[in-house]
Each structure stands twice: as structure tokens, then as C-alpha cells.
Copies of this chain bind each other. A is one copy, B any other.
Amino acid sequence: MIGVAPRSTRSTTLSALAAYVGGSLRGGDVPITGVAGIREAEPGQITFVANPRYVPDLARTRASAVVIAKAHATSAIARIEVDDPYYAFSRIVRWFHERPYEPGGISPHASLAPDAAVGADPTIGPFVSVGCRARLGDRVTLLSGVSVGDDVAIGDDTVVYPNVTIREGSAIGRRVILHSGVVIGSDGFGFATRNGRHEKILQIGRVVIEDDVELGANVCVDRAALGVTLIKRGTKVDNLVQIAHNVVVGEDCLIVAQAGISGSSELGRGVVLAGQVGVVGHLRIGDGAIVGAQSGVASDLAGGQVVSGSPAIPHQTWLRVQATIPTLPEMRRALKRLEARVAELEQHSSGSS
């Protein structure tokens, strides 16, 4: 139903796979019946090495073949040499494990508003609720416990895993993947404080998620106060990320687990936020900027910048600072000693004058 077969039933040869991924066959042809990690692989399976850290495992793997960069290749094993082994292997995984979409139909335990529009070949599981005037594209998958609010639109081929909430008025693109526990369209955190009390500002905007976006488990995307919270095409978001009201995330960004983006900030295209990064509100991060893990971005970042730290500074500076940090207590003592030596010199000098 979801398009992944956990066990492959296909088989082929290493030479056929080499042709499929456009790589060079080395070390002889062998039959291949599946894929596996380098430590778990069994005879007949193909594995890969993308991270040099795992090259030593090649000597011990039981795999029959490996996808590898030429630079790391050894003659001990049949192999496909390619420029980008991670990408080539991912295509081989897909060849073995992807299966065509099979519609599961609409569960008798689902609750759809009479005026909800459902496209062709749906998969709607039990205990799914679909609100008034919602529009689902073709081949949409909504698994058990998903809540789709009034006036929500969901594009073709989108997959929504169990217990996701999509609040009223949200628009979800095509081929989007929403993992379990995602909340889209919850109210932004907006209050006007009067005499110490916080009065709620109605959040009347909405959320738009463009095509090919993937949101990890328990990700939150708040609806805009006014206007739109927007995640653009192709962006991938890891688990437990917070995206506040009126944020705009550009195309093809990667936002790693537990990062948070505060209200009204805008990310350009291809921005990378590593894990547990925080971005304060109302700022702009330019195209292709990269923010290191646990960093805090407190001011605008130009495109292409690589920063780390909280508050974030250029990554190269941060590396040098981090090398210095553990020496701080010694620096302080050295400074004290030096002060004493200078004082002595001064006394000596004034004595000698």
C-alpha cells in the first residue's frame, strides 16, 4: 500500500545493476538477490560504502558485492564503482524494494464529511476523519487516526501516516509524506500582553506545504497569524522540528531533528539546519547557508555562509574558538602569572630609574 516491500522478491546480476546505475563492474559478475548493510549482509546481497569510516568492514563483510567509490575500492570483492555510491545504492534499494501503489479503498470505520471530495484510488484507513469541503487528490493515502480539517486540500500521491493532524484550511501538495504525529496548522504562538496577562491573537492564516516535501514524526507547523506559513517544494524535515507561524522555508532545504524556526523567519533555497538548531524570529537565511548542530541563529545570514555556535559565528572561527575553550582556565592562570611578573618588572624598573 505504501510502496515499500520489506523483503525483496526480485533478483538480478551485478552486471545488470552496474548498467542500471551507470557504474563500472569490477571483480566479476555475480547474482544479486537483495541489499543489506555492510555488517548484516549475507551471501547474495549487495552492500555499499559511502563513508570511509566503514571501509575496514569490507574485509569482513559476507556480502557478495559492494557499491563503492573508486578511491575506496579493494580487489577483495566484486563491486560497482561509481562517483556517488550513496546515490547509486539508493537506486538499487529502490529497484529491489519499491512496489507500485495499491489502493486500499476507504475503510468503513472512516468518517468523511458528505461534501469532502476524494480522488481516484484512495487509501483511507480506519478512524480517519475528513472535514467539510476537504479535497483529496488521486491515490492519496490517509492511515488510521488521521484528522483532516475543513477546507483542507491534499495533492495526488501524498501519504499521511497514522495519527497526523491537518488543521482546517491547510493546503498540502503532491507526493508529500507526513509522518505520524505531525501537526499542521496549529495556532501560532501569538499573544498581546496587557497588564501582565496574555491575550490570544487569533491566528487566521494558514499553512501551505508544496510538492515533494517530507515532514518527520511529531513535526509541528503552525498556521500563520495572517497570511501563510509556507514550506516550499522538495524540502525535507526530520522528526520533532518546530516551524512557527509565518515562517517561509525555501525549496530543497534539509532541517534536521529537533531544530526550531521562530515566527516570520525566512529560509532561502537549499538551506541546511543541523540537529537542535534554533533560529530566532523575523530574520532571513540566504540560499545554501549551513548551520551546525545546536547552533543559535540570532541575525540574518547571507547565502552560502557556514556558521556554528550559539549565537552562531562563522564555522571556521567557531572551530578555532572551540580549540581554545578548554584552555581558558590555564589562560587565566597564565594571565595572572604574567601580571605578577610585569608588576615585578615595573617595580624593578622604577627602582632602577
Residues of A at under 8 Å CB distance from B?
A: 2, 4-6, 35-37, 39-40, 51, 53, 84, 86-87, 90, 93-94, 97-98, 107, 109, 111, 125-127, 129, 143-145, 147, 149, 151, 161-165, 167-169, 177, 179-181, 183, 186-187, 189-194, 196-204, 206, 214, 216-218, 220, 222, 224-228, 234, 236, 238-240, 242, 244, 246, 252, 254, 256-258, 260, 262, 269-270, 275-276, 278, 280, 282, 293-294, 296, 298, 309-311, 313, 317, 320-329, 331-332, 334-335, 338-339, 341-342, 345-346, 348-349, 352-353
Query: How many copies of this chain does the complex contain?
Result: 3
Given A186-B216, A257-B189: A181 touches B181 (CB 8 Å cut-off): yes
> Chain B nearest CB: distance from A252 CB in Å?
6
27 A-B pairs within 8 Å (CB atoms) are namely: A6-B206, A40-B226, A84-B194, A87-B194, A90-B192, A90-B200, A90-B201, A93-B204, A93-B226, A97-B202, A98-B202, A107-B111, A129-B144, A163-B164, A163-B181, A165-B181, A177-B200, A220-B257, A242-B275, A260-B275, A278-B294, A280-B293, A309-B325, A313-B326, A331-B335, A338-B342, A342-B345
Cβ 8 A contact of A331, one of B86, B144, B331: B331
Cβ 8 A contact of A198, one of B151, B191, B240, B254: B254
**Is the pair A181, B342 in contact by a Cβ cutoff of 8 Å?**
no
Given A90-B201, A147-B143, A183-B180: A275 touches B278 (CB 8 Å cut-off): yes
A345 to B240: give the CA distance in the assembly, Å: 59
**Is the pair B236, A189 in contact by a Cβ cutoff of 8 Å?**
yes
Q: Which residues of B contact A242 (CB under 8 A)?
A: 238-240, 257-258, 275
> Chain B nearest CB: distance from A309 CB in Å?
8
A201 to B161: give the CA distance in the assembly, Å: 18
**Is the pair B111, A227 in contact by a Cβ cutoff of 8 Å?**
no
**Is the pair B310, A321 in contact by a Cβ cutoff of 8 Å?**
no
**Is the pair A218, B326 in contact by a Cβ cutoff of 8 Å?**
no
Q: Which residues of B contact A328 (CB under 8 A)?
A: 320-321, 324-325, 328
- Closest B residue by C-beta to A194: B87
Q: Which residues of B contact A93 (CB under 8 A)?
A: 201-202, 204, 226
> Chain B nearest CB: distance from A195 CB in Å?
10
